[in-house]
Structure 1
Amino acid sequence: MNLYNNTIINYRFNKIKTAIVLFFFFLLLTNHLHAQERIIFSHLSIQDGLSNRNVLSVFQDHYGFMWFGTNDGLNRYDGKNITVYKNDPLDPNSLSNNVVFSMYEGKDGGLWICTVNGLNLYNRDSENFEVFKLKPEAANDMTSNIVMMVTEDSKGNLYAATLMAGIQKLDRNAGNFIPVVRDTTDQSGIDLVMSLFLDQNDDLWYFHTDTGGRVQELKYYKTDSGELKSFHLPYIEPNSAIGDVRGIGVSCGLKDKAENIWLGTADGHLLNFNREKGFFNKIEIDKGHVLISITEGDSANFWIATFGNGLIKYNYKTGEKIQYNYDIADDYSISHDYLLSIYKDRAGIIWIGTAVGIDRFDPYKTPFRTYEHNENDQNSLSNNQVLSIIESSEDPDLLLIGTLDGLNILNQKDGTIKRFTKSALGDDENYSIRDILSAGKGKYWIATLGSGLEIFDTKSSDFKTVLTEPEISHTVRDIVRSEEGILWLGTTNGLVRYDAVKKGIRKFFHLDTSYTREVFEELTKLRNSGQEFGAIENVGNLADTILNVRIKTQTKALVVVTGENVMTHNFRNTKLFDYGWIENEQGEKVWEIDKENTMHAGGALKNRIVVDVVDLKPGNYSLRYISDDSHSTANWNAVPPNDEKHWGIQLYYVTEDEEKIFRGNLLKKDFSDSPPSNNISALYLDSKGLLWIGSTGSGFSIYDLQKDRFTLYRNGPYDKNSLIDNRVAAFYEDSNGLMWIATQGGLNSFD
């Protein structure tokens, strides 16, 4: 809690003399000190939806939302949008006051808001507030209901630091406060408690201000016995910059992860309290400037917000200090030198409440030069999702950048960006560019996610469609060149070889899909000849279907089940969602799916088909089929199978010759001599002229261009030396000729 976050009180209630000081006279400093290391600050302001420029407090709840307490309203930020909560005099369940000092989340997830006029508990379901007043009978006398901050002990007791009433404990059931510590002899009645902490023993540590607005002592209160101890502060120089507040000392406080207590002072010092000896170590940080708020970083670093001199990083082990000040010439500097609050979220990002809004930065990031989309600036990227990048073959200062919405050319010398988007070309659709490859003479091959293969001429700024549906998939993810004029395209519908000179196309499909189509052709013959004698088909969501069939003589039956069998990408486990089986009249299963031996049924990879032959004795049988709440007939949430109608289970009479067709010719093809899948994720041509083909979930293949032969590699369920994961993202060949395969489950090398 820092004292100067609360100085707005003096502005609104001049009858309180010197307990809280007004110094929101925020002026830009004319003398800017430049940081010794680069930090990229991003900013939020009233133009982004903040209710007020002056951000007094920052907090992150367990859902990840950021909350900003301002001089005029509470703000919730979801990373994109800001929602503002304000007091409505006609609504008793609105925020009790618009001046928000601090926020706190209890162990039960309740979010508490401390304001000038009471404590508020936020109701997430109804998005309103339950209000607790220190003195409900004095509802209009807001000075009697000022709550600075709250904290909670291990038993769930909530303690409040107040302006006029010392430390109070909230009785949730009764809806009122119970005095815990009152410590004032001042006729004004001021009993200001700030920077309230609970230690590991649930005892209270706090800083107390009494007569004259002076923070005189650090105090320790044992909650079990009521014992109260005081520790006097060392002398602190008066600071004329904050007004006529004689002897005012502590401006903020922090209990670090090691339970050490640190105080920031109005004259620019840190006081480190030695509990064993009961005295303070005084460390000069920024003499003459108020240390307004402190948060703990890592590696013995504190981030200290000052009132008038920017941000300071201080390492208490080495004594190193680094200053960060506002720079009018740098859009990525801190936005103001008058800071009001500072906070570190769970990801380690530092949020700073300033006189003009919110600043934030990630201390773990290195100082990158950032290029991003700005809808009000044509000299910015067309989209922030960058999918590909290549250096110009004509000018090394130019970079061609493919984004989710068009091509950008960045001039590294002057930082200018030229955009080439569908909207700029008179088309409203987005223009996603996944890969770029030089075609020579200022032209570039463009792999798009929606328009197939195109070629771009930098001299004329023209795009020309070369290949798209129905010739190839309109989604092309990768391009490589094996020799002059020969391109290899990785698409969402197989591998494509394109001869750019002769304009010839050769397509390579995964054989799993090809022979499944043959299976369906043979099944169609059986249906047309009337050999189907039991069928559950066109199954929708949440089905549990039973079909009874009677077998009069010993019968050889072909059983076909089409359903949803989601496999993990390392094929170590599978999970059935939509599937069928056969029961006898005793309810015993006589046939069920071998879930690890299914075939792809076309469409999405999770569409699976099982074709098997079963011998059935005379008797009564039940076909059973169940489905879950998604991905079924008329409710597909992904690409449906080749044969949508027969989603279910069917039985067919078959002869011995027909059985041989299925068992031999159709179900035992070598699908390893094909691309790993029709959904190609990555291509790479190595130094030996071998083409490496990665897939989104079926491993990878190596294609020998000379022998016209594919070799498939996948994760083996019991082979520790196989591919670690079947979701392949990229390939790379190092200087020793060793291949590296990047997957979503780890990294493999391949020798």
Structure 2
Amino acid sequence: MEDKFRRWIVCLCLVFVFPHVSADSYTFRSLSVSEGMPDLVVNSIYKDSRGFVWFGTNTTLERFDGARLRHYFLEATNGNDAKEKRVYSIVETPEGEIWAGTGIGLFRVDDDAGKLFRYASDAIDSGVHAFFVSGDTVYVGTDKGLFIHAGGSFSSVQLDGNIFSPANRVTGIAGDSHGILWISTLGGLKSFNPLTGKVGSFPPQSGRAASAYYNVALVGARVFLGTMTDGIVEYDVADGVFRPYIDVGCGVISSLSTDGKDLLYVGTDGNGVHFISVSANQIVRSFRHDTNADPAIRSNSVYSVLADRDGLLWIGFYQLGVDYSLYRSHLFQVYRFGSRFTTEGMPVRTVSFHGKQKLIGTRDGFIFIDEADGRFKTFDTPQLRASIIISSCYFSGKYYIGTYGGGMYVFNPRTLEVEDFYSSEPYPFKNGHIFCIRSDREGCLWVGTSNGLYCFRDGEKIRHFQSADTKLPEGNVYEIFFDSTGKGWICTENGMCIWDPSTLSLRANVFPEGFINREKVRMVYESSDHRLLFLPEKGSLFVSDLSLKNFGRVGKGTLLDGKSLMSVIEDNSKAFWIATNNGVYRYDGEGGIMPFGMVDGIPSNVFINCYALKDSAGTLWFGNSNGLVSLPGGKARRLPELPYAAAISGVLVDGVDRPELLERTGSTYRISLSSRNSSLTLLLADLLYVSPDEAAYEYREAEDEEWKLLVGKSEFNLYNVPKGGCRYYIRRIGYPESALELEVLPPSSGGWWAGVLALVLAAAGILLYRRKHARRQEPVVYVEPEVSAVPAFDAGGSANSAEEPESLIAPHPSLEETALAADEGEGGKYKTNKLSDEECERLSNLLDEVMNEKKPYIHTDLKIADLASMVGSSSHALSYLFNQYLKKSYYDYVNEYRVLEFKAIVTSEDCSKYTLEALAERCGFSSRASFFRSFKKATGITPNEYIKSVQK
């Protein structure tokens, strides 16, 4: 009885102390030929301190950065034996070098050359199969004993007096808490005391044949050894006894490691991977190649296993490459009801809570759970006329459930029975679509359907609004939301109206110009500070105050661009969580937006149009295409820390791989270019090991204050690098501490002969220039065009807000802008493609006429090519016109018209109901920063100062 109780306690500890064993839902990705692996036999796996993962194969050492592999080949040797290329072991030294053990010796990584070079061949001239690092010392296990690297030199330790003894063939090294090394060899178990230099031998008991051990792991005072025939052998240091350990279904133990606390990670060549709890003495998790297993790995022939410090599982196979699990921060969770029920894999369309009761509607019926008394029941067809549940509401002790095509039902949580909704009009909802069910503060139940809007009180229908005879816009009624003033916001597929409780009527003529009332809105939500958030079918988030005086769109030019917004909820820290068709985004209400996806425990990035909820504990709940997803309130306030900073893993210069040009000191990277280089591609490491689609970076130039997005890819491109060099910062969105610094240094002097050559070429160029332009009176002067700012996120303020940007520095030029600059410079086409003054005047007049009549400048994406097409000219001709004749850049020219448009609007209209961002967008500006910069440059005052002067 006591033993059973002890085992029960141990199992509970496993659940709570090691939740990844029993609770993790592993999802594996693969690395194989299609991902660029040149050799698919993976003998060893290692993760270094920077977060890079290394694979030792039969022919190369591979470094994986989460997005791409880099191959390190062995330097040429005299022998042709295949074992000399086989990488058996990998380690990072205290100095940060990567060493690899092969069949013929020790090799060191040369990152610049992309090769492995032989190291210490005079000391180590045999195969290296194991490493162990302790402090500043590296222990190397070879075919000729143990070697110790300390203070820059090697010393050797003979584990057996006979140099040819199998006991000198080291296969694994582990260290205990007393500093003693435990060493597996082909001739038995050995120990080594670094302080005394004493070697201990531990032969197995008589009668046991197996004494050749191929790997070793240590948990407490128990040593575990892997064999090639008899599975795992345990040696108990306390009693000095060898004994067979747990049978893992295969005698060949190819990999053996531990978390140092309780778990053994066992790889077998024939029966997959197993996790063993040493305290419970049982297998707690297995991974096999089995069509019935979930998840399944690609082979049972496992050569190497790494359960890394970040919770990822890496499995190397024979001739199949690598399988690895995705990183999970476990911020979000999929709802499970004990062992009886899980929502994982279910497309959740609606949820309603009452106390410990949960009603979950899916595409396949609904589920009722009462966590207080353990009741659980599912309902689907034929109990229901339609199985797609799209709305629900708890009201007066019952749940009202809307279906797609099957009308509305009422569910009684006491009797667990479902019945049709009944009122004075018997069964009014036997069919049709019920999109929304809400209650107001007057005790009425409102139902939005495909046949208009209904209102019931005490089961009696008191109102039915249809578009034919009321102010209700045409189409399905998708949303009914009652705000804190009692007004009801009614959203249909063709617009919006308001239920006015003071007049008991629907009103549609109360919306100001520019409001969202003519669009299809999925959802309306009121924040704690009484802002209304509208989620449109298309377009960005729309925010308004209750009086409809200050409103506008937010999120343009941010991560929310192009996303379909499904639901929004505010957490206890007053941040908003917005579920979309591509992940969840945290919006702090002031401009900061942070992405979350599968890496954070979300089962799918696709969320459904399900009204999000916050329960009494502050936990947020979302309907996802693969389950009901929750975010505990405490975790929402304490976001997960990133395990690694952003990192650059490679560099292409003008399309050519040039790793030797990249220098790193901590998180600062430097690249030195020659004067001939013009473009850079920085390869960013994705050390969370998820997917390039999940990558979310932002960057800025050192002199700029505005961060720009770099999403869905792991590359950073710089075109036409300035000759004087430049400096950038790159970081993961939402994590300022992850930033790296990139410094592109200007080209250094190439020596006196390069200077002389440059002078000669310059002199020749000047002579040629003077001969060609002898008749010209004045030189052509190139004025570099200014660049408008990249759109920046700003929730906006009213037009009379006093807030203005502190810095409005223009960012690095875009590809189009730098291409124009190349044509406009003194080395460009202006020398041969000049326009006469008469032609410039004609073009200028024609351009002014187009700008005044057609107002193309109100389009934020207007390009010089568009203007050229309107006046029947070319981009280069207009570029010459602006910079040489009008003496202003194209951007200044267009933005001056936008400034004039803004002046006209604020002079002739009441603009107090608009944000400055909304007004600037009406005039064609792409961002608030660009608007402020251009306005002050053109007028000498800020927009707010101008508005105040107009009001006076």
**TM-score, reference length from structure 1:** 0.44
Q: Which has the higher contact order (CA 8 A, sep 6+)?
A: 1
- Relative to its length, the structure with more helix (as a share) is 2
- Relative to its length, the structure with more strand (as a share) is 1
**TM-score, reference length from structure 2:** 0.35
